[in-house]
Structure 1
Amino acid sequence: MHNFGSRWGDSAPQTSTRTLQGPDRTNNFAEAAHCRLRSELGVDHPTIWRLIDGLRTVQAGRDQHFECFVRGDQPPRKNRKYLLADERNQWTVGRFDANSDLLSLRGVAHNFMLN
């Protein structure tokens, strides 16, 4: 952990700070894009031509989605359960102190358990 500080200095914000600031913290967008691509292709291991056709279809949809943002349309709202999980995570991280690190991590991990 000491190497991280010397390599990146203070330019890399702490995870707890990023969590309290509220922006999305994970690669949910990359995972969503991967899931969408798999569903568009309809197979896990496509042929090269099916991949190219699928990428063209997905790109056309992404271009249309981008134009909505350029127009000023609001993005779709997050699902309620994800909003509640974000609030619980912010609350858990907000009451974090050095003496309760294991308890805090367990609290955050609890929010990621799938039912």
Structure 2
Amino acid sequence: METIKVAIRVTEEIRIKLEEYIVIKGLHRQKIKYNQLAEQIIKDWLKNPELNKEKIIYGTSSKSRESRVSIRLTEEENIKAYEIYVAKYIRECRSLNILLYNVLVQFVYNNFSDFEI
């Protein structure tokens, strides 16, 4: 099955929080990297694609997104993500990549009490 590589620009703070999550959960012992964690977060979200629309970042932010995370999706997962984007989030997000960025942001928000969107 063909995979599609999707690059998502994230803030340094999101990258750090994903790294912290890996250590807190002991995933570093399995040699899990933050790209792999981000990929799993997106794939899990595709099974239940709900986001808090009040916390969505439309596309521009005061924080620069200088880090990149690359995730691999199957063609079917990519199609499903795009269909979800168009059906539910096109008015809240500027693009599919911004939607996927928001998935990561809300994951971090839900797992760290000291993180604010």
Q: Same fold (TM over 0.5)?
A: no
Larger % of helix: which? 1
Structure having greater relative contact order (Cα 8 Å, sep ≥ 6): 2
Normalization by structure 1: what TM-score?
0.25
Larger % of strand: which? 2
Point out the structure with max Rg over C-alpha: 1
